[in-house]
């Protein structure tokens, strides 16, 4: 090795690292193959690519000398290709190579005797680490190299060095080796969840935590520094089970049309989306924002426009393309694919000339086609595909999945001289899972099986030598005929659909029984995937030439949302879904096609600039760690007092941290006990982990917020809230911040029995035990009686209860009046009174929904469904808990009154009364007969719940 190369290697490292011995080597696979003497005329370029420098580099922090093998590729500059820390498990084997001819040597090497070629194999006693083999001909340096290895190996053995607790100095040099595409399942774990387990008195691994936080911080900081612009990618995904049919119909409604909107009317209720308390903090809402949508808002806005015009990429998945018997044996005929590809471009109409097919992959009846805009074709690289069967006997191709992985690399800005930017990896899966209602466990199994078996091997191209699993990407889409069904009886489903032929509230009541939603919620399958709210009618099974019901469904198969599109994305990507729906205009199959539109904003990151900043920042942080100085954090205050804390009223306070030391420091909040949260249940802290450079500050956001789950516990405790936040500085001292507040008791999130024993307004309680004896309890909670009485005597228009959105501030005022006993606000105009009516009605529904126990206990639900007439239903009241009877009677009397008032007058009034009663019962039955969240008592039919309530209000 030349002196120039020695100097180059020394200059690559920091002063704390010393290259002890460096050898000129070649990759064994390229060199040893020719050591039989028949490599005459060997490819000089290939030999040049195989050349490496192999160094033993040491690092001494004054306590122990650590060392590592480091492999360089000598291009225009040194580039590390591998590191191997010298621990007690690492081995170095040296053996003489077979006879070689001088022609096998690289063009720059001098001819030497065959006996001077030696093979070096760096291995490990661990079976999980693959050995690395090299060839060298420098005998003199090889002797020094082996001697230095033996010396350092002895130190590693005696000091028990391992890669978990040692070799942190290697991190800056290893960054260029790490794959840029980490498994999505890991990336989606919050940073604090990836740190070592630690709590008060049980320290974690600070060195490991520092390494992980630094990696994350450096990645984000380098990305910010290297971002030179932004680009948006517009995607439309579609899935269609064609039932073996040929494309005999225009596909433009699917490819170019909007997803079907189910109803222009607004449903009475839709599931409220859970919000983080941190998201609730904002300035006072505007007039338009000050609306509580509990009773009026649709599930979602399903008609957002795709920004920027037409999609940049279409990804279309087909199932049951071929139903022939021969197809089960993995037939590879492309006839059907060509037919559907032609139909797709025909469906694009005059815009078809703007697109071209990028890739397709087919497994029997499953076909996945990717079509992109021609102007972006060169931006899509490293396109790979794979497939796996999961059908008959677990391998035949009637069920399974096809998948495509590609990288989108946005072009640099027009005036930029950059030639390379960071790519974004997208993966698309088109699956067809096991059919029939009772096969849900098989579908869950197939999902996990396909997730493991679908891998994208290298295509052997330059730079594409890594095999990726399904989740090694930035965004993963999973679509297809997943065959999940609805866990309701056929009659219940058809009754709900017949009652809501335009979708409306019927969709929401059935989604709660969807098998796929249940599998995601229980983490049995598709954990981490997100599906846009469903607002379209079930897409299966439509009857084609066979017996069908009035909505067109096959009378012999239960309708279901078998066709789905879901996604999982990196938390670094501001990913938005714009639309999700079906296309009933396309009727050639027993399934309706579905589509979803996405907007993907991407940062244009200069690749070389990113790598330079990444290495620079890691070296900076590592340099500080070598200084021997202690990290120091200064906390602005040692206590936070939130004052009065009200139900569902967030209170925000900031905690400012300053790095008062001379080196970067890691901070994290610790829990007081193992596996406990880092803050009391009424307090939320963000962020819980971070890194500060010297003299930097950061503001920690703390939010006191009490929801139903928290209120149900705080209502039973003394009102004084106190706790301690433990702020840990890695390798430094801990800080303790006391937090306190005064909880204001609320009537929400209580039991009916406890509410009936309140001596007056709940806010007047001094302790949670200040209740009257059960023998002196009132018949029904005063709060419910008060709300019902107001609505029956003070509202000028019954329709105002449910016909307009309620203002959030007004709802909060009504809640406070219930808690304190104050009078409800007075009104002077018709509009103000209607607003107040809507707020009171919304508060009643929220109150009932917040109750700890259902008005009718789940243990009685099955008995309720057995009551087939009004008399039997009233007899069952005797078995209700004492606290439920009068509440039920009061509520049903009010709902009866509402139904009759909403029905109007005229010759069709009787039918109108029945229709309004049906609507009221459909809305309130799931609230009054709430399912058992523990699962001890099975869920019963929603139609049965509705019919039981109808016995009292019809």
**Residue 897 pLDDT more than 90?**
no
How far is residue 129 from each of residues 132, 232, 889, measured CA to CA in Å?
9, 41, 71
Residue 307's CB: how many other CB atoms inside 10 A?
12
Separation of alpha carbons 592 and 538, rounded Å: 9
Mean local confidence (pLDDT), 42-58: 77
Distant-in-sequence, close-in-space partners of 522: CB < 8 Å, separation ≥ 6: none
Q: How many CA atoms lie within 13 A of 69 on its CB side?
A: 28
Hey, is 421 helix, strand or coil?
A: strand
The CATH architecture one would assign to domain 233-257+310-458+468-605 is 4-Layer Sandwich (3.60)
Phi/psi at 697 (5° precision): -125, 160
Give the residue with greater pLDDT, 939 vs 284.
939
Mean local confidence (pLDDT), 884-907: 83
**Residue 619 pLDDT more than 90?**
no
Hey, is 630 helix, strand or coil?
A: coil
* pLDDT tens digits for range 408-420: 999 887 655 556 8
- Supply the pTM of this predicted model: 0.83
User: Which residue from 884, 864, 891, 871 is spatially nearest to 953, judged by alpha carbons?
Assistant: 891
User: Which residue from 504, 614, 503, 599 is spatially nearest to 551, judged by alpha carbons?
Assistant: 503
C-beta separation of 385 from 406 below 8 A: no
Q: How many CA atoms lie within 13 A of 331 on its CB side?
A: 17
**Residue 204 pLDDT more than 50?**
yes
C-beta separation of 657 from 700 below 8 A: yes
C-beta separation of 191 from 213 below 8 A: yes
* pLDDT tens digits for range 508-551: 889 999 999 999 999 999 999 999 999 999 999 998 767 788 88
Separation of alpha carbons 391 and 303, rounded Å: 37
How far is residue 782 from each of residues 524, 762, 837, 890, measured CA to CA in Å?
43, 10, 19, 12
Mean local confidence (pLDDT), 842-866: 96
C-beta separation of 86 from 67 below 8 A: yes
| Token reading at 643 | 């004052």
| Token reading at 180 | 């840029």
Write down the pLDDT at residue 391.
Answer: 61
DSSP state of 524: S
- Only one residue has tokens 């005998």, namely 139
What H or E segment, with its residue span, contains residue 519? helix 515-521
676: left (phi over 0), alpha (psi -120 to 50) or beta: beta
Beta bridge partners of 369: 316, 360
Write down the pLDDT at residue 466.
Answer: 74
User: Which residue from 562, 589, 400, 581 is spatially nearest to 485, judged by alpha carbons?
Assistant: 562
Mean local confidence (pLDDT), 201-224: 90
- Only one residue has tokens 């022939």, namely 324
Give the residue with greater pLDDT, 648 vs 627.
648
C-beta separation of 73 from 79 below 8 A: yes
- R_g of the chain, CA atoms, integer Å: 34
Mean local confidence (pLDDT), 339-361: 96
C-beta separation of 382 from 406 below 8 A: yes
**Residue 504 pLDDT more than 90?**
no
Beta bridge partners of 727: 669, 735
* pLDDT tens digits for range 19-37: 999 999 988 754 444 433 4
Q: What angle do CA 813, 815, 819 make, to 5 degrees?
A: 115
Write down the pLDDT at residue 626.
Answer: 64
Separation of alpha carbons 446 and 449, rounded Å: 5
Which of 470-474, 507-511, 714-718 is predicted with the least confidence, judged by mean pLDDT?
507-511
Distant-in-sequence, close-in-space partners of 856: CB < 8 Å, separation ≥ 6: 864, 880, 884, 888, 928, 929
Distance of CA 553 to the CA centre of its chain: 34
Write down the pLDDT at residue 41.
Answer: 45
User: Which residue from 186, 182, 217 is spatially nearest to 668, judged by alpha carbons?
Assistant: 217
- 3-state SS of 537-598 is CCCECECCCCCECCCCEECCCCCECCEEEEEEECCCCCCEEEEEEECCCCCCCCCCCEEEEE
Beta bridge partners of 640: 739
Write down the pLDDT at residue 328.
Answer: 61
Q: To the nearest whole percent, how much of the chain has pLDDT over 70? A: 83
Separation of alpha carbons 579 and 596, rounded Å: 5
Q: What angle do CA 119, 123, 128 make, to 5 degrees?
A: 145
Write down the pLDDT at residue 38.
Answer: 42
* pLDDT tens digits for range 545-591: 677 888 889 998 999 999 999 999 999 998 899 999 999 999 999 99
So where are the chain's domains? 1-30+48-97+117-170, 233-257+310-458+468-605, 639-744, 779-951
Separation of alpha carbons 226 and 216, rounded Å: 15
Q: Do you find a cis peptide bond into 717, omega within 30 degrees of 0? A: no
**Residue 857 pLDDT more than 90?**
yes
Hey, is 614 helix, strand or coil?
A: helix
Write down the pLDDT at residue 60.
Answer: 87
Q: Do you find a cis peptide bond into 541, omega within 30 degrees of 0? A: yes
Write down the pLDDT at residue 169.
Answer: 82
Q: Do you find a cis peptide bond into 616, omega within 30 degrees of 0? A: no
**Residue 10 pLDDT more than 90?**
no
Distance of CA 161 to the CA centre of its chain: 38
Distant-in-sequence, close-in-space partners of 924: CB < 8 Å, separation ≥ 6: 891, 895, 949
Separation of alpha carbons 233 and 217, rounded Å: 27
Residue 267 pLDDT class (50, 70, 90 cuts)? very low
Q: Does domain 639-744 have CATH number 2.60.40.10?
A: yes
Separation of alpha carbons 439 and 730, rounded Å: 50
**Residue 824 pLDDT more than 50?**
yes
Separation of alpha carbons 373 and 233, rounded Å: 11
* pLDDT tens digits for range 750-805: 999 999 999 999 999 999 999 999 999 999 999 999 999 998 887 666 666 776 78
What H or E segment, with its residue span, contains residue 70? strand 65-74
Mean local confidence (pLDDT), 315-341: 81
Mean local confidence (pLDDT), 129-150: 88
Write down the pLDDT at residue 546.
Answer: 72
Buried b (16+ CB within 10 A) or exposed e, 432-461: bbbbeeebbebbbbbbebbbebbebeeeee
Mean local confidence (pLDDT), 424-445: 95
Give the residue with greater pLDDT, 349 vs 266.
349
Residues in the chain: 954
Which of 84-93, 159-168, 758-767, 845-854 is predicted with the least confidence, judged by mean pLDDT?
159-168
Which of 211-215, 561-565, 826-830 ranks highest by mean pLDDT?
Answer: 561-565
* pLDDT tens digits for range 720-743: 999 999 999 999 999 999 999 999
Give the residue with greater pLDDT, 612 vs 225.
225
Separation of alpha carbons 151 and 472, rounded Å: 40
Q: Does domain 779-951 have CATH number 3.40.50.2300?
A: no
Separation of alpha carbons 337 and 341, rounded Å: 6
Give the residue with greater pLDDT, 360 vs 334.
360
Residue 11 pLDDT class (50, 70, 90 cuts)? confident
Separation of alpha carbons 811 and 807, rounded Å: 6
CATH classification for the domain delimited by 1-30+48-97+117-170, as one of 2.60.40.420, 1.10.760.10, 1.10.3720.10, 2.30.29.110: 2.30.29.110
Strands across the sheet containing 720-729: 639-645, 734-743, 720-729, 665-670, 689-692
Residue 667: exposure state from Cβ atoms within 10 A (0-12, 13-18, ≥19): buried
| Token reading at 921 | 């019962």
Separation of alpha carbons 183 and 185, rounded Å: 5
């Amino acid at each position: 090795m030349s002196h120039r190369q020695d100097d180059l290697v020394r200059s690559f490292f920091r002063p704390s690292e010393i290259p002890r011995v460096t050898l000129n080597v070649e990759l064994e696979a390229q060199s040893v193959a020719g050591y039989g003497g028949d490599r005459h005329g060997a490819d000089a370029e290939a030999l040049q690519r195989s050349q490496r420098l192999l160094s033993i580099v040491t690092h001494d922090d004054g306590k122990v000398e650590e060392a590592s093998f480091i492999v360089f590729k000598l291009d225009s500059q040194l580039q590390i290709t591998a590191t191997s820390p010298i621990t007690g498990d690492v081995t170095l084997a040296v053996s003489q190579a077979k006879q070689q001819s001088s022609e096998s040597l690289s063009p720059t090497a001098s001819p030497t005797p065959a006996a001077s070629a030696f093979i070096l194999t760096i291995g490990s006693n661990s079976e999980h680490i693959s050995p690395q083999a090299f060839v060298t001909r420098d005998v003199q340096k090889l002797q020094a190299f082996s001697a230095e290895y033996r010396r350092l190996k002895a130190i590693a053995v005696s000091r028990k060095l391992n890669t978990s607790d040692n070799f942190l100095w290697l991190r800056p040099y290893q960054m260029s080796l790490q794959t840029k595409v980490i498994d999505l399942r890991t990336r989606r774990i919050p940073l604090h969840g990836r740190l070592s387990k630690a709590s008060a008195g049980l320290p974690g691994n600070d060195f490991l935590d520092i390494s992980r936080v630094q990696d994350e911080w450096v990645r984000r900081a380098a990305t910010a520094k290297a971002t030179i612009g932004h680009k948006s990618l517009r995607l439309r995904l579609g899935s269609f089970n064609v039932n073996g049919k040929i494309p005999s119909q225009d596909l433009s409604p699917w490819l170019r049309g909007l997803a079907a909107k189910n109803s222009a009317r607004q449903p009475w209720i839709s599931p409220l989306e859970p919000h983080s308390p941190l998201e609730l903090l904002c300035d006072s809402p505007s007039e338009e924002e000050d609306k509580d949508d509990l009773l009026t808002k649709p599930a979602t806005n399903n008609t957002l426009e795709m920004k920027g015009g037409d999609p940049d990429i279409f990804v279309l998945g087909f199932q049951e393309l071929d139903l022939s018997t021969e197809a089960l044996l993995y037939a590879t005929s492309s006839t059907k694919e060509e037919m559907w590809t032609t139909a797709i471009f025909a469906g694009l109409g005059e815009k078809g000339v703007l697109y071209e097919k990028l890739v397709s992959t087919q497994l029997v009846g499953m076909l996945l086609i990717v079509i992109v805009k021609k102007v972006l074709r060169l931006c899509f690289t490293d396109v790979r595909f794979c497939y796996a069967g999961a059908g008959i006997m677990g391998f035949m191709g009637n069920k399974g999945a096809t998948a495509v992985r590609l990288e989108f690399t946005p072009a640099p800005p027009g005036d930029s001289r950059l030639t390379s930017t960071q790519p974004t990896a997208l993966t698309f899966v088109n699956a067809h899972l096991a059919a029939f209602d009772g096969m849900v466990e098989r579908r869950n199994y197939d999902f996990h099986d396909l997730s493991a078996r679908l891998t994208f091997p290298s295509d052997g191209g330059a730079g594409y030598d890594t095999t990726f699993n399904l989740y090694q990407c930035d965004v993963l889409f999973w679509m297809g005929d997943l065959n999940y069904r609805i866990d309701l009886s056929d009659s219940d489903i058809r009754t709900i659909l017949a009652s809501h032929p335009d979708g409306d509230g019927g969709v929401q009541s059935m989604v709660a029984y969807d098998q796929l939603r249940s599998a995601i919620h229980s983490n049995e399958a598709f954990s981490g995937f997100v599906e846009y709210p469903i607002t379209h009618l079930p897409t299966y099974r439509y009857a084609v030439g066979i017996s069908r019901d009035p909505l067109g469904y096959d009378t012999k198969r239960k309708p279901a949302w078998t066709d789905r599109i879901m996604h999982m994305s990196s938390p670094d990507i501001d990913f938005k879904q714009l639309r999700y729906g079906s296309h009933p205009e396309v009727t050639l199959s027993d399934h309706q096609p579905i589509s979803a539109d996405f907007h993907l904003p991407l940062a244009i990151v200069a690749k070389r600039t990113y790598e330079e900043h990444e290495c620079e920042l890691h070296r900076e942080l590592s340099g500080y760690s070598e200084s021997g100085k202690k990290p120091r954090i200064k906390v602005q205050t040692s206590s936070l007092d939130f004052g009065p804390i009200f139900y569902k009223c967030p209170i925000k306070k900031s905690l400012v941290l300053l790095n008062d030391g001379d080196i970067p420091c890691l901070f994290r909040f610790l829990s007081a006990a193992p596996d406990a949260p880092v803050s009391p249940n009424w307090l939320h802290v963000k962020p819980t982990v971070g890194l500060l450079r010297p003299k930097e500050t950061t503001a920690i956001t703390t939010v006191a917020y009490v929801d139903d789950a928290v209120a149900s516990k705080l209502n039973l405790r003394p009102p004084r809230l106190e706790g301690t936040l433990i702020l840990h500085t890695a390798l430094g001292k801990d800080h303790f911040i006391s937090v306190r507040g005064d909880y204001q008791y609320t009537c929400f999130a209580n039991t009916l029995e406890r509410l009936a024993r309140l001596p007056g307004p709940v806010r007047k309680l001094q302790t949670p035990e200040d209740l009257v004896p059960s023998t002196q309890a009132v018949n029904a909670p005063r709060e419910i009686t008060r709300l019902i009485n107001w609505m029956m005597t003070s509202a000028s228009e019954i329709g105002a209860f449910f016909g307009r959105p309620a203002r959030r501030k007004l709802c909060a005022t009504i809640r406070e009046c219930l808690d304190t006993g104050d009078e409800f606000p007075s009104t002077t105009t018709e509009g103000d009174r209607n607003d107040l009516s809507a707020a009171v009605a919304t508060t009643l529904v929220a109150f009932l929904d917040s109750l700890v126990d259902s008005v009718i206990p789940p243990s009685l639900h099955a008995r309720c469904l057995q009551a087939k007439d009004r008399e039997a239903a009233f007899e069952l009241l005797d078995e209700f808990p004492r606290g439920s009877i009068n509440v039920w009677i009061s509520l049903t009397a009010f709902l009866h009154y509402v139904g009759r008032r909403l029905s109007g007058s005229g010759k069709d009034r009787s039918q109108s009364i029945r229709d309004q009663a049906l609507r009221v019962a459909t809305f309130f039955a799931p609230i009054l007969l709430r399912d058992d969240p523990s699962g001890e008592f099975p869920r019963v039919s929603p139609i049965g719940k509705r019919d039981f309530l109808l016995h009292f209000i019809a």
